[in-house]
Amino acid sequence: MNAVRMEKISKKILTVVGARPNFIKVAPLVKRIEEFNARSNGQVSIKHILVHTGQHYDYNLSKVFFEELSIPAPDVYLGVGSGTHAEQTAKIMLAFEKELIRFNPDTVVVVGDVNSTLACALTAVKARYPVAHIEAGLRCYDKALPEEVNRLLTDAISDLLFAPDEIAVANLKKENIDENRIFLVGNIMIDCLIENKRKIENSQILRKLDLTPKNYAVLTLHRSINVDEEDNLKGILRAVNHLSEEIKIVFPVHPRTFKRMKEFGLVDSLSSNILLLEPLGYIEFLNLVKNSKFVMTDSGGLQEETTYLGIPCLTLRETTERPITVTLGTNEIVGIKEENIIHWGRKALHDEWKKGNIPYLWDGKTSSRILQILMKHI
């Protein structure tokens, strides 16, 4: 009797990254793919192709995250750099199309809401490659924000939509997206935080900066409406100066933010109790956040990380695409008016803050759920 010959099955998943939040979200999925291949005994394997568009090209906003999170070097680096939204999106599409043809993947995975996300999703769909979107369904309902446009369009054309929470699922259903394409999987950023918990706890950043836990606050600013408009940036920094009279403020400064601060003559106006830093890597920054009294930010991901860590978060925006961090977590939308920032900052400073809870499925297993669904649908 002839032996049955087992045919090896190989699938190709191409994942796109372009900016800092993407690296954090992709790292757990890369590890799950490596684990899957190690368990498969060679019968079923996944060929993973990582494409870095180069949307963030500063070392501390890119390469350091690959090193800290043990992400393999990208198979392709497109190196598109900066430009207007149209220029950057067009350059990514032109370069990415060539890589699609070269690798011919079974599925293209995009994450988040940056220009790379939409550009690569649109290119893939037009070339008839299935697209999976991690972090689908987030909405702030303000189309003046380019990220909102990227989110809406990417979700509309994606084949598999991986939602981080129930609110995101409800948003997708309201947009009449086929429910068979929607999957509630949890928050993949929390996977990264949990997997790196020991590294984060062992970071020596507080010792290096001569800080003690809960005796400082953290500030981050990078969104165009806050840093490119002079009056807005001045008002925010006046409020931060005011709060710095009561607590030290640690401010890792985004390169574009620092450029604008210099242009507007604001660097020298900062209090001596505001500590300006170069952008930090993931491990040091999360240790800084974990041990802070409170955080002031216009970041999306940081709203989620503070909710998981139980740290008060003042979001310096008028809207958020992550409302579950407000309704369930430790986040408050305080806007950018000087008096509001001071009011909420004082509440956090004096422990007049809600406790918050961790949302459903933010449990460190999101990447496993995503890979299981991908393998089922490829």
Q: Say how far apart CA 134 and CA 50 lie, in whole Å.
A: 15
pLDDT of residue 81: 82
List, for residues 127-140, the tens digit of each pLDDT value.
Answer: 999 999 999 999 99
> How many beta carbons lie within 10 A of that of residue 229, not counting itself?
14
Q: How confident is the model at residue 59 (pLDDT cuts 50, 70, 90)?
A: low
Average pLDDT over the chain reads: 94
pLDDT of residue 246: 98
pLDDT of residue 1: 41
- 222 catalytic per annotation: yes
Q: How confident is the model at residue 362 (pLDDT cuts 50, 70, 90)?
A: very high
Q: What is the pTM of this model?
A: 0.94
Residue 260 near residue 228, CB atoms below 8 Å: yes
Q: How confident is the model at residue 3 (pLDDT cuts 50, 70, 90)?
A: very low
Q: Say how far apart CA 132 and CA 39 lie, in whole Å.
A: 24
Handedness of CA 156, 159, 163, 169 (dihedral sign): positive
DSSP bridge partners of 219 = 296
Q: Which of 48, 56, 85, 222 is catalytic?
A: 222
List, for residues 189-213, the tens digit of each pLDDT value.
Answer: 999 999 999 999 999 999 999 999 9
Domains along the chain? Answer: 9-187+362-377 (3.40.50.2000), 197-349 (3.40.50.2000)
Handedness of CA 361, 366, 372, 375 (dihedral sign): positive
Residue 120 near residue 91, CB atoms below 8 Å: no
* pLDDT surpassing 70 at residue 61: no
pLDDT of residue 133: 98
- 257-266 exposure pattern, b = at least 16 Cβ within 10 A, e = fewer: bbebbeebeb
Q: How confident is the model at residue 57 (pLDDT cuts 50, 70, 90)?
A: low
pLDDT of residue 58: 61
Angle at 215 between CA 62 and CA 289, to 5 degrees: 25
